[in-house]
Chains A and B, each alone.
Chain A
Amino acid sequence: MGFPHKPHPKETVVLSQHFGDADARTVKGWTKRGGYEALAQALKMTPLEVIEVVKESGLRGRGGAGFPTGLKWSFMPKEKKKPHYLCVNADESEPGTFKDREIMRWTPHALLEGTAIAAHAIQAEVAYIYIRGEFTEPWTIMEKALAEANAAGVFGKIKIVLHRGAGAYICGEETALMNSIEGKRGNPRIKPPFPAAAGLFGMPTTINNVETLAAVPHILKRGAAWYKGLCLSSPKSMGTKLFSVCGHVQRPGNYEVTMGFPLKDLLYDMCGGVPAGRTLKACIPGGSSVPILNREETERTLLDYEGCVAAGSMLGSGGVIVFDDSTDMVYQIMRLARFYAHESCAQCTQCREGTAWTTKIMERILAGQGKMQDLDLLLDLSENMTGKTICVLSDSCAAPVVSGIKKFKNEFEDYIAGRRKPVMVA
């Protein structure tokens, strides 16, 4: 449903069915609604069987990378010689994204159930759910739900532990998340080794996003074929996706649609379009780390992994940020660069220095002191920051800068030429 608004007929309601329904948060309420049946079913299957079902379904990671989930699970050692771990990435910090929060707030047991099934599939005895520190309400709800579920004994031998983050976007990167659980600075690790070989505490580990795991019970209950059939466009993208729409729309919220759904319909039909009297200027479809789309591109984008790439961006986390024509694109790109500069972990030279330098150049352009060479410089710096670091935070800073200069060059030029009143940034 377009939570917190009324459900829209064009939505495909699966994960969001019980959003807003406080009773679904209890074990009793959840089981009444058909919950924990999939888990019971999975525990009777072998791990390999569970992996096969998920593989067959075509489920892909919903955290941003879109890696096939069943395939990821199959990387874990089949023969168990060491402890295996599952990490659940509930660090949701990608600007524009707020879906995992809703899953945890309204359907905590969906997450717990998916976690337990995944743990069973990869033969993990312990699963850590890494919840970002700022999510105080989801934390409390998850704590309560976990305690209840444990008391009801639904997890068998699987132990689920909640781990609280403390304010670091970079801990959403899977290897940084593992370091954070281990009690270290949230620094991403160089790969190899890959988590399935040596991950958390050096043991074989799988990391999955909240939304990905929330889909797993549905896949087990209703079958891989059902899930695979939820497909409107590219045959490589199936299932439903929660799109977190925010910014300049009448009805911001989480909308669940089938993969391949037209972005245009999501924005105009479901969200009611931009505020009255305004026009759509730009849209970022997958969280701030993916390229910005202009209006024309936005209106022809199909929302699946391949469709977004075809339009010149990426599906990412599905955090849809909408900018109408009142937006100062230069200012917002500066603000995004500042976000990345603040969150850089400081390991890689390009990221540590580049994100800050990018921000400074953007601030200077806004202050009316920019030069045309600054745009070439920004593009050159962005290229130097792309594909050369341990993780992609550096690339993520470059994405809005490069696409912004390409598609909204006139706005930059207005500041540089003095046609626009300078903005002094704090």
Chain B
Amino acid sequence: MTVTEEYRAVFEGKVLEELQSILSRYPTKQAALLPALWVVQRERGWISDRNMAEVAEALGITPAYVKGVVTFYTMYHQHPVGRNFVQVCTTSPCNICGAEGVVKAFLEQTGAKDAGATSPDGKWTIIEVECLGACGFATPVLINDDFLENVTPEKVPEIVKKYR
């Protein structure tokens, strides 16, 4: 069952320089953990157990420790996700403004079976998230790093087309 693939380190060359720069902003190495994990996710799209071990070594902490942190914060992906990662807020203020309809529209338009699953063509993962802090601009939708506001079910087909 062991897959013996050559592990490609994340923190090399320019990325390693970036890590050094991050480290300089904090008095402890451990404090660079959240920014370092963001870098890994940016570079690889998700954070694997092996990545966690690499980060642990770079910061002088244990892999188990890193894993405890990764599993705490919901924005870190522990598995590969679709090319477009769509987060739709459905907490009450947006909920009463039709947020669940927006989720449904995304699922229909992308073919992703359920919230959380990836669409068959691998391009979309849609999830429901908690309050995105844009309640007056219901419904907010975060697609990768793009923060869309005032999304309604009617606007979804256009959005999906744009990102496809």
Contact = CB atoms under 8 A, between A and B. Distances in A.
B163 interface: no
Interface string B74-109: 111000000000010011110111000000000000
Nearest to B136: A252
Given A166-B34, A339-B91, A321 B135 contact: yes
A120 interface: no
Contacts of A247: 92-93, 96-97, 135
Contacts of A280: none
A7 interface: no
A336 interface: yes
A135 to B, nearest CB: 7
Interface string A145-175: 0000000000000000101111111000000
B78 to A, nearest CB: 12
B34 A134 contact: no
Contact of A246 (B25, B26, B68, B93): B93
B145 interface: yes
A386 to B, nearest CB: 20
B146 interface: yes
A183 B34 contact: yes
Interface in A321-348: 321, 323, 327, 331-332, 335-336, 339, 342-343, 345
A323 B31 CA distance: 42
Contacts of B28: 182-183, 201
A247 B96 CA distance: 6
B138 A137 contact: no
Given A183-B30, A183-B33, A244-B136, A327 B96 contact: yes
Contacts of B72: 168, 185-186, 345
Contacts of A323: 96
B121 to A, nearest CB: 24
Interface in B20-63: 25-28, 30-35, 37-38, 59, 61
A201 B25 CA distance: 13
Interface in A215-248: 244-248
Contacts, number: 148
Contacts of B133: 92-93, 97-98, 100-101, 132, 134-135
Interface in B124-152: 129-138, 142, 145-147
A96 interface: yes
A336 B147 contact: no
Contact of A180 (B34, B68, B136): B34
B7 interface: no
Interface of A: 4, 83, 92-98, 100-101, 132-137, 161, 163-169, 180-186, 201, 244-248, 252-254, 288, 319, 321, 323, 327, 331-332, 335-336, 339, 342-343, 345, 426
A137 B147 contact: yes
Contacts of B138: 246, 252
Nearest to B138: A246
A185 B69 contact: yes
A163 B32 CA distance: 9
A134 B136 contact: no
B84 to A, nearest CB: 14
A167 B95 contact: no
A335 B90 contact: yes
Given A137-B147, A247-B97, 7 more contacts: A98-B133, A134-B87, A134-B147, A183-B69, A185-B68, A186-B72, A321-B93
A164 B96 contact: no
A137 B30 CA distance: 27
B90 A201 contact: no
Interface residues of B, number: 44
Contacts of B33: 183
> By CB atoms of chain B within 10 A, which of A101, A168, A342 has the most?
A101
A132 B75 CA distance: 10
Contacts of A321: 92-93, 135
Nearest to B100: A426
A288 B136 contact: no
A275 to B, nearest CB: 10
Contacts of B73: 133, 165-168, 186
Contacts of B30: 182-184
A136 B140 CA distance: 12
A51 B146 CA distance: 40
B75 to A, nearest CB: 4
A332 B95 contact: yes
A244 to B, nearest CB: 6
Nearest to A180: B34
A279 to B, nearest CB: 15
A90 B146 CA distance: 19
B76 A166 contact: yes
Contacts of B96: 247-248, 323, 327, 332
22 contacts: A96-B131, A98-B133, A134-B133, A134-B147, A136-B147, A137-B147, A161-B26, A180-B34, A181-B31, A183-B28, A183-B34, A201-B27, A201-B28, A252-B137, A254-B136, A288-B92, A319-B135, A323-B96, A327-B96, A335-B91, A335-B95, A339-B131
A37 to B, nearest CB: 28
A29 to B, nearest CB: 23
Contacts of A93: 130-131, 133
